[in-house]
Structure 1
Amino acid sequence: MKIKQNTDSLTQDFGKYVSLNVLGMLGLSCYILADTFFISRGLGADGLTALNLAIPIYSFLNGAGLMTGVGAATKYSIHKAQKKDGAANAVFTHACLLWLILGTLFAVAGAGFSGPIAALMGGEGKTYEMTRIYLKTILSFAPFFLMNNILIAFIRNDGGPRLAMSAMLAGSLSNILLDYIFIFPFQMGMFGAAFATGLAPVVSIGVLSVHLIRRRNGFHICRCRMRGRILLDICALGMSALITEVSSGIVIIVFNMVILQLEGNTGVAAFGVIANLALVVIAIFTGIAQGIQPIVSTNYGKGNTRAAGKILRLGIMTALGFAVLIYLLTFGFADGLVMIFNRDNDLHLKQLAVSGLKLYFTAFLFAGLNILAASYFSATEMPKQSFAVSIIRGCVGIIPLVCLLAHFFGMTGVWISYPVTEAGTAVLAAGFLWYVSRKQIPEN
């Protein structure tokens, strides 16, 4: 990947990689958002509740793919910057081994355990059957989801951010189109929604294959000894991505359980609307983080820490700008956003979701910093700091808070637990960044 060193070129690279990755991640976020919209319209509140019960498992699957892809691609970029092509190819080969192991595990879980998993998630009656069908279908496509994440990360770091974006958008557009066709004209119900989502990474991989067919790829499977150390490095550098996704799933499970006690299925459906809209916002921050990663890792590999720090600062300012704009739009149009997913015009659902949006979304004023800080630490081979930021914002902070605040403040406590957690984590992340900047030796 050709990353230039002067200030103007760094800014241009930042604009190119970040804009393309934000667009691509927005496309990926539409995988579930499209399901949310079409399921809410075609299957009503029961379908929406079932989808929200199944989303945590999708988060685990996506997290495993991101861990492998982001972790391996980060190490790949550092080796490439240091002119170690053999080591770079060995990393890609080990990533493919992880793909084979994880893909098999998820597919087997879907084939044999979708029912028990659906029950564990809280599915009962109609929602149990819908959740089981969705999980079984999605998990059967696990190898495609995982390979898609790996190829996107490697091709982006191999100088192909535009193709990576095109692949993500192609997958999302196919999902939206097939969602409509399978749920409405074909009347395939929950299976149709899951099948459409499962086909999306297949379409995306087809687009990404252009990079390989035209032999533009700098990465190859090579004959090498499988080393546990390389696998551990991949997992360590991708851990923040895994924790972010898995924690999201765990938090949804906990939120669902707490809300079921407070407001029943209507409350879970309201949270489903908020959680799925939040996925789009998180996708923007993740897009910025993944956009800066190749530039940061390349400059770090070359010893240019000052340039890496400049890119991080640009990323944080961009994320904060998006956060302010998104919150203003959400505050002003909360009613309209909720009604898009409220087929039955349920007034109680509307009331819960609108008030929840206005409180829950204040978290994004802090979440961007946390996501970018965790990504920066991973990109510069500081997995401990990345892990700390990710795990605290992901579950260690929010899970006890939601239980405590819900006990004292009901649904208001549920909604404010997220921004309180992100704000506290932002203080920690800022402290880590300050400490790291003080430790780095200025360049000559």
Structure 2
Amino acid sequence: MQSNLDNKHLLEQGPVSSLFIKYALPSVVTMLFFGIQNLIDGIVVGNHLGSDALGGVNIILPLFSAIMVIALIVGIGSQTLVSMGLGEQNIEKAQDAMTTGFWSLVLVSLVSTGALLMFAEPLTQHLGADERLLPHALAYFKGLVPFILPITLCFYSDVMLKALGHPKFSMMIMTSVVIINVALSLYLVLGTDMGTMGASLATGIAFSIGLGMSAYLTFNVKQRLSMLKGRMRMPLLIKAVYNGSSEGVSELAAAISILIINLTVVKMLGADGVAAFTAINYINFVGILLFLGISDGLIPVLSYNFGAKNYERVKRIFRFAALVNFGIGISVFILLQGFGEYALGLFFDLSNKRVFEIALAGLHISAFVFLMNGLNILITAYFTALGEAMSSIVVAALRGVVFVLIGVALLPKFMGIEGVWITIPLAELMALGVACVLVLRINRKLLMLTKKTETQ
């Protein structure tokens, strides 16, 4: 298989559109499959088990996102170091970064699994599950937690495949995971009446199979780089955690945002409101995955060129991706305004008319978020790829926590539930203003580095 080690010409000199097709497109396809999987899970749970079960699953999603923060922090941080190492032609650094991230995730995942199983019910209640939602939330929780280790390692192995120049192999594995997940979810929820636990067990089993598939390359000591060949080095772990913390904060901020809105909606509208927001969240998530696919696919490309001191090329890749993301955002916004009710109709039957009406009103307002969030997601990934973790953290915290908290604290007092829905796009718009200022600062730094390189 061709890898980054054999792909120097394309990475450093090939057309940006070719890089986009090779690295970003497979990642987008993978993310879309994840979106389809989440959509099908939501449709199966919402229609077969009811709106309470759908709300119960949504109660646990912030916890699952918090777990994935750990995988993202270590994974993206290590991926950036591996890609920079390859760009610098420093193979030892790339190898040790890969191994360091792996063993760190093994330790953290095992400790997290034990702690979460010990405090399952009180933790679920603290996340906002009331008497109606608790049985469904707890069942989903108990089915998912035992699989934390294989799920986190599957994600880590996936980002390493991209760093090593195997985006198509990554796409093949992760789309297989999604197909297996959907098939198992249909069987365990509909065929065996396992309820929400069946949905979470399907996820855990599917990711375990995906880890086994990706191990063919990432754990193979015959490959030039392997999880098992390098040394665990604390300085590299510190660098990885610092740089990856930007992506971790992005994911954590998204989880906190969902939790904040869940708690606000349940106070205002009860379980029906949570079910409505869950459906909105599923639909929004599919759109967001397009942006995440582009950004995640380009992080190793940007890091490689930054390590190779191709600073002008880094800026060209960013500008190209920004135009693509903005075009996608406009398209998704138009589709949701015109056909949003048909998407929501997949989640609820006629007996849930009140929930449907709440969700439709919320979707038409929250859809404005797609005019901004594609650029915000790309900008945070851009900062991460260049090792500018603090700038990425600032944008992620503003859009996912600070502005959301301010919005739900103030707007519902004057606008009711519409104030909650308006908070979502408004937070993105305000964060984008800050992000653009930070991008200008980073690009000035790249210009100075370019001049310095030219004079050497």
Asked if 1:257 corresponds to 2:263, the answer is yes
Asked if 1:226 corresponds to 2:269, the answer is no
Tell me the amino acid that sits aligned with residue 76 of structure 1: V
Tell me the amino acid that sits aligned with residue 403 of structure 1: A
The equivalent residue for 2:107 is 101
Cα distance per residue 1:28-81 (max 9 Å; x no partner) = 334433321111121101101101111111111222212211110111110111
In the alignment, the residues of structure 2 paired with residue 6 and residue 96 of structure 1 have an alpha-carbon distance, to the nearest angstrom, of: 28
Question: Residue 18 and residue 224 in structure 1: after superposition, are their counterparts in 2 closer, same or farther (change >3 A)?
Answer: closer
Asked if 1:270 corresponds to 2:285, the answer is no
The equivalent residue for 2:58 is 52
In the alignment, the residues of structure 1 paired with residue 179 and residue 242 of structure 2 have an alpha-carbon distance, to the nearest angstrom, of: 33
In the alignment, the residues of structure 2 paired with residue 334 and residue 53 of structure 1 have an alpha-carbon distance, to the nearest angstrom, of: 23
SS at match of 2:119: helix
In the alignment, the residues of structure 1 paired with residue 11 and residue 236 of structure 2 have an alpha-carbon distance, to the nearest angstrom, of: 29
Pick which of 87-96 and 217-226 moved more. Answer: 217-226
Cα distance per residue 1:192-236 (max 9 Å; x no partner) = 111111112112213212324594452343453632x32221112
In the alignment, the residues of structure 2 paired with residue 308 and residue 163 of structure 1 have an alpha-carbon distance, to the nearest angstrom, of: 25
Tell me the amino acid that sits aligned with residue 190 of structure 2: F
In the alignment, the residues of structure 2 paired with residue 76 and residue 268 of structure 1 have an alpha-carbon distance, to the nearest angstrom, of: 41
In the alignment, the residues of structure 2 paired with residue 64 and residue 102 of structure 1 have an alpha-carbon distance, to the nearest angstrom, of: 8
The equivalent residue for 1:191 is 197
* Alpha-carbon shift at residue 106 of structure 1 (Å): 2.4
SS at match of 1:141: helix
Q: Is the 8 A contact 1:110 1:140 kept in 2?
A: no
Tell me the amino acid that sits aligned with residue 147 of structure 1: L
Question: Residue 6 and residue 74 in structure 1: after superposition, are their counterparts in 2 closer, same or farther (change >3 A)?
Answer: closer
Asked if 1:365 corresponds to 2:371, the answer is yes
Cα distance per residue 1:366-392 (max 9 Å; x no partner) = 111111111111101111111111111
Tell me the amino acid that sits aligned with residue 228 of structure 2: I
SS at match of 1:346: helix
Q: Is the 8 A contact 1:117 1:132 kept in 2?
A: no
SS at match of 2:193: coil
Pick which of 3-12 and 158-167 moved more. Answer: 3-12
Tell me the amino acid that sits aligned with residue 374 of structure 1: T
Aligned residue pairs: how many? Answer: 443
Asked if 1:209 corresponds to 2:215, the answer is yes
Question: Residue 65 and residue 6 in structure 1: after superposition, are their counterparts in 2 closer, same or farther (change >3 A)?
Answer: closer
The equivalent residue for 1:350 is 356
In the alignment, the residues of structure 2 paired with residue 146 and residue 106 of structure 1 have an alpha-carbon distance, to the nearest angstrom, of: 11
Q: TM-score, normalised to structure 1's length?
A: 0.96
The equivalent residue for 2:121 is 115
In the alignment, the residues of structure 1 paired with residue 240 and residue 363 of structure 2 have an alpha-carbon distance, to the nearest angstrom, of: 36
Q: Is the 8 A contact 2:247 2:392 kept in 1?
A: no
The equivalent residue for 2:322 is 316
Listed as ranges, the matches of 1:33-432 within 5 Å are 33-212=39-218, 213=220, 215-216=222-223, 218-222=225-229, 224=231, 226-227=233-234, 229-432=235-438
In the alignment, the residues of structure 2 paired with residue 84 and residue 411 of structure 1 have an alpha-carbon distance, to the nearest angstrom, of: 54
In the alignment, the residues of structure 2 paired with residue 5 and residue 159 of structure 1 have an alpha-carbon distance, to the nearest angstrom, of: 10
Unaligned runs of 5+ in 1: none
* Alpha-carbon shift at residue 27 of structure 1 (Å): 2.1
* Alpha-carbon shift at residue 189 of structure 1 (Å): 1.1
Pick which of 364-373 and 96-105 moved more. Answer: 96-105
In the alignment, the residues of structure 2 paired with residue 372 and residue 90 of structure 1 have an alpha-carbon distance, to the nearest angstrom, of: 28
In the alignment, the residues of structure 2 paired with residue 159 and residue 152 of structure 1 have an alpha-carbon distance, to the nearest angstrom, of: 11
Pick which of 340-349 and 54-63 moved more. Answer: 340-349
Cα distance per residue 1:141-167 (max 9 Å; x no partner) = 000111011100011110100011111
Question: Residue 111 and residue 30 in structure 1: after superposition, are their counterparts in 2 closer, same or farther (change >3 A)?
Answer: farther
Pick which of 372-381 and 230-239 moved more. Answer: 230-239
In the alignment, the residues of structure 2 paired with residue 303 and residue 257 of structure 1 have an alpha-carbon distance, to the nearest angstrom, of: 47
Pick which of 12-21 and 216-225 moved more. Answer: 216-225
Of 18, 22, 28, which residue of structure 2 is paired with 1:12? Answer: 18
Cα distance per residue 1:367-423 (max 9 Å; x no partner) = 111111111111011111111111111212212212211222111100010111100
Cα distance per residue 1:78-117 (max 9 Å; x no partner) = 0111121111111112101221222113211332111111
In the alignment, the residues of structure 1 paired with residue 269 and residue 221 of structure 2 have an alpha-carbon distance, to the nearest angstrom, of: 55
Question: Residue 275 and residue 128 in structure 1: after superposition, are their counterparts in 2 closer, same or farther (change >3 A)?
Answer: same
Tell me the amino acid that sits aligned with residue 411 of structure 2: L
In the alignment, the residues of structure 2 paired with residue 411 and residue 11 of structure 1 have an alpha-carbon distance, to the nearest angstrom, of: 43
Tell me the amino acid that sits aligned with residue 180 of structure 1: L
Pick which of 200-209 and 424-433 moved more. Answer: 200-209
The equivalent residue for 1:434 is 440
SS at match of 2:133: helix
* Alpha-carbon shift at residue 240 of structure 1 (Å): 2.2
* Alpha-carbon shift at residue 345 of structure 1 (Å): 3.8
Cα distance per residue 1:132-185 (max 9 Å; x no partner) = 121122111000111011100011110100011111111111111111111112
Tell me the amino acid that sits aligned with residue 88 of structure 1: A
* Alpha-carbon shift at residue 313 of structure 1 (Å): 0.7
Question: Residue 225 and residue 55 in structure 1: after superposition, are their counterparts in 2 closer, same or farther (change >3 A)?
Answer: closer
